[in-house]
Chain A
Amino acid sequence: MTNGVLMYAHNNLEIDYLKIACANALMIQKNLHVPISLITDISTYNWGKKSLTEKFIEKCFDKIIFIDKNHRFINERNFNDTSFTTKNLQFYNCNHWKAYELTPYDETLFIDCDYLIMSSSLNNCWGSRNDVMINHTIYSPYDQILPYSKTVDDMGIKQYWATVIYFRKSPLAKHLFSLVQHIQKNYSYYKDLYYFSSGLYRNDHAFSVAIHMLNGFNDFESIITELPILGLLMSWDVNDIHSVKLNDIILYVERSESKGNYILSRIKDTDVHIMNKWAINRHSDELIKLYE
């Protein structure tokens, strides 16, 4: 049985996802000690060769899997860099359903490159009796409330977060990913049926619908288990990074309903989803230096 981590990286005009993935790969090497594969496209890779060098990229990943980009897929969204800067950029995320076919591992931790691994918690997944694990429970730094779940809409189904997915090669996982493919191909239909507020394609929503369908159109008792962690720690894109150390990040966390009013929050030995990509890009050289 092989196991490893799988990440995607497709750069857009401003966000260097490959550099973020490289920094995170070094963090994974340090904390999880498992092989890492990257799925990317040739233009992202060529940019990385120039900016990071081919030798460095190969040091970060055990395997690089190239896929062609579908240039007809237009999926623009607003990316926030704190509450004060917003840019509308391409969000290339239409191929996550391919992870099942493309992974070189029997057991895969499929993670977003901005989910920074600062602990060994996810090593508890290996050898799980669950074929798929994915979280609906999340929590936020400096939050007064306990881990919680959201729905995709006020009337809608439970939201799962495709940020981290554990799966093993199995009929259930295969079925889940093929359902996600189907939902993505018919997204405008599912968007209306499940009351998604915008037309932006989100894997979170596609996986939520797929899991809802696999559960027999109910969330009462899910056949998909959550990951063996408290929940996904989410640093929303209105936050910024103050400083980074080894497995130790200090964040500027914007207080809810108080724009521009930040409080410092320290995340130590805990994995965290940093949704402000520019914040990671600003600190990625430092992260690489720390973990290299």
Chain B
Amino acid sequence: MSKGYLILAQNSSSTDYVRMAYALALSIKGTQLGVNQVAIATNDEVPEKYKTVFDHIVKIPWFDHAKNSTWKIENTWKFYYMTPFEETVVLDADMLFPTDISYWWDVLSSKDVWATNKPRTFRGEVITSTKYRQVHVSNDLPHFYIAFFYFKKSDLATELFKMTNIIFDNWERFYYTYLDETRPKFNSGDVAYALAIKLLGIENECFDTNSIPTFVHMKSALQNIDEKYISEDWTKSIPTYFTEDCKFKIGNYEQYLPFHYQIKEWLTDDMINKLERKIDL
């Protein structure tokens, strides 16, 4: 069974997601001793240098549903149809892997779909804030995080992605019918997948109480820190120490889990240079 990571990267007018996907792929190649195949799904041009770290470059199937969008989430129901792997972990582009998590795959393989529902703060605490999850709380939706989720080619995954496709195509109607007034005014991958899982009644199949899969989610308001002490842009409040061998501390905390930095400017050229040197590129 082929296994690998899939990153959907679509550049917007302000953000170079392909560059971030490249940095993420470098970090995967530099840390993962087991599964380290990486596929990028994009219709944007991938620079020649970047191509060396991607094992697969796939076009977004059918047409680009996010062509006129700034948030670029409209293609996120297509993971099942993009992936070149039998078993896939979907990642957000704005992430880095600081350590080897290859052993997770043996655990993940026991399910057909397994999504993160307990991301962590940079200090390793399970995130308890529901600030951005009012719609999940109010509608009893599972806390699905698209930034790190696993699926294998299977009947269950087929069913989930098909239902998510239907929701994406008719999201206003679905949100109006199934969600209360906390419903978002725009489509959201985390909400659409959560709603699909709930409508299919497969919560128990898609989540578990295990401590994995997980990742560090760096949205400021989720850090269990009083908001008066932390800027909305966390990088203005908490320093980063990024070493030559690409280990990094956020504040005084060494990072071990997949790290979702979220503030795009956090990723510097210097970090990318270090990541390249680590794999002799």
**Chain B neighbourhood of A219, CB < 8 A:** 123-124, 253
Tell me the minimal C-beta distance from A224 to chain B in angstroms.
Answer: 15
Judge whether B102 is part of the interface by a CB distance below 8 angstroms: no
**Chain A neighbourhood of B237, CB < 8 A:** 155
Of chain B, the residue at the smallest CB distance from A194 is B252
B124: contacting residue among A155, A156, A220, CB under 8 A: A220
Judge whether B34 is part of the interface by a CB distance below 8 angstroms: no
Cα separation A219 to B253 with both chains bound (whole Å): 8
Q: A219-B253, A220-B256 are in contact. List 4 more A-B contacts (CB 8 A).
A: A155-B225, A155-B237, A217-B249, A220-B120
Judge whether A157 is part of the interface by a CB distance below 8 angstroms: yes
Scan B227-239; emit 1 where CB is below 8 A from any A CB, else 0. 0011000000110
Number of A residues near B (Cβ < 8 Å) is: 14
7 pairs of A and B residues whose beta carbons are closest in the complex: A220-B124, A217-B254, A154-B229, A218-B254, A154-B225, A219-B124, A157-B252
Tell me the minimal C-beta distance from A214 to chain B in angstroms.
Answer: 12
What are 23 A-B contacts with C-beta separation under 8 Å?
A: A151-B123, A154-B225, A154-B226, A154-B229, A155-B225, A155-B229, A155-B251, A156-B251, A156-B252, A157-B252, A158-B123, A193-B252, A194-B252, A217-B249, A217-B254, A218-B124, A218-B253, A218-B254, A218-B256, A219-B124, A219-B253, A220-B124, A220-B256
Cα separation A212 to B251 with both chains bound (whole Å): 12
Tell me the minimal C-beta distance from A226 to chain B in angstroms.
Answer: 16
Scan B115-132; emit 1 where CB is below 8 A from any A CB, else 0. 000001001100000000
Contact A212 B229 (CB under 8 A): no
From known contacts A155-B237, A155-B238, infer whether A217 and B253 are also in contact, taking CB-CB under 8 Å. yes
Within 8 A of A (CB), among B241-276: 249, 251-254, 256
Tell me the minimal C-beta distance from A193 to chain B in angstroms.
Answer: 7
Scan A139-161; emit 1 where CB is below 8 A from any B CB, else 0. 00000000000010011111000
Cα separation A194 to B249 with both chains bound (whole Å): 13
Of chain A, the residue at the smallest CB distance from B237 is A155
**Chain A neighbourhood of B251, CB < 8 A:** 155-156
Scan A204-237; emit 1 where CB is below 8 A from any B CB, else 0. 0000000010001111100000000000000000
Within 8 A of A (CB), among B103-154: 120, 123-124
Tell me the minimal C-beta distance from A81 to chain B in angstroms.
Answer: 30
Scan A190-204; emit 1 where CB is below 8 A from any B CB, else 0. 000110000000000
Of chain A, the residue at the smallest CB distance from B241 is A217
**Chain A neighbourhood of B230, CB < 8 A:** 155
**Chain A neighbourhood of B225, CB < 8 A:** 154-155
Cα separation A156 to B124 with both chains bound (whole Å): 12
From known contacts A154-B225, A154-B226, A154-B229, infer whether A212 and B252 are also in contact, taking CB-CB under 8 Å. yes
**Chain A neighbourhood of B253, CB < 8 A:** 157, 217-219
Tell me the minimal C-beta distance from A218 to chain B in angstroms.
Answer: 5
**Chain B neighbourhood of A151, CB < 8 A:** 123
**Chain B neighbourhood of A218, CB < 8 A:** 124, 253-254, 256
Cα separation A198 to B252 with both chains bound (whole Å): 18
**Chain B neighbourhood of A154, CB < 8 A:** 225-226, 229
Tell me the minimal C-beta distance from B236 to chain A in angstroms.
Answer: 12
Of chain A, the residue at the smallest CB distance from B247 is A217
Of chain B, the residue at the smallest CB distance from A219 is B124
Q: Which of A154, A156, A193 has the most CB of B within 10 A?
A: A154
Cα separation A216 to B99 with both chains bound (whole Å): 13
Cα separation A254 to B253 with both chains bound (whole Å): 36
Cα separation A154 to B225 with both chains bound (whole Å): 6
Tell me the minimal C-beta distance from B91 to chain A in angstroms.
Answer: 21
Cα separation A34 to B256 with both chains bound (whole Å): 43
Cα separation A136 to B253 with both chains bound (whole Å): 17
**Chain B neighbourhood of A216, CB < 8 A:** 254, 256
Of chain A, the residue at the smallest CB distance from B229 is A154
**Chain A neighbourhood of B249, CB < 8 A:** 217
Scan A75-106; emit 1 where CB is below 8 A from any B CB, else 0. 00000000000000000000000000000000
**Chain A neighbourhood of B229, CB < 8 A:** 154-155
**Chain A neighbourhood of B252, CB < 8 A:** 156-157, 193-194, 212, 217
Tell me the minimal C-beta distance from B99 to chain A in angstroms.
Answer: 10
Cα separation A158 to B249 with both chains bound (whole Å): 16
**Chain B neighbourhood of A217, CB < 8 A:** 249, 252-254
Of chain B, the residue at the smallest CB distance from A151 is B123
Cα separation A157 to B225 with both chains bound (whole Å): 12
**Chain A neighbourhood of B254, CB < 8 A:** 216-218
Tell me the minimal C-beta distance from B228 to chain A in angstroms.
Answer: 9
Tell me the minimal C-beta distance from B150 to chain A in angstroms.
Answer: 21
Tell me the minimal C-beta distance from B245 to chain A in angstroms.
Answer: 15
Within 8 A of A (CB), among B187-214: none
Cα separation A216 to B255 with both chains bound (whole Å): 10
Cα separation A193 to B249 with both chains bound (whole Å): 12
Cα separation A163 to B225 with both chains bound (whole Å): 26
Tell me the minimal C-beta distance from A272 to chain B in angstroms.
Answer: 28
Cα separation A63 to B117 with both chains bound (whole Å): 55
Cα separation A218 to B225 with both chains bound (whole Å): 17
Of chain B, the residue at the smallest CB distance from A149 is B125
Cα separation A227 to B120 with both chains bound (whole Å): 26
Tell me the minimal C-beta distance from A107 to chain B in angstroms.
Answer: 30
Of chain A, the residue at the smallest CB distance from B238 is A155
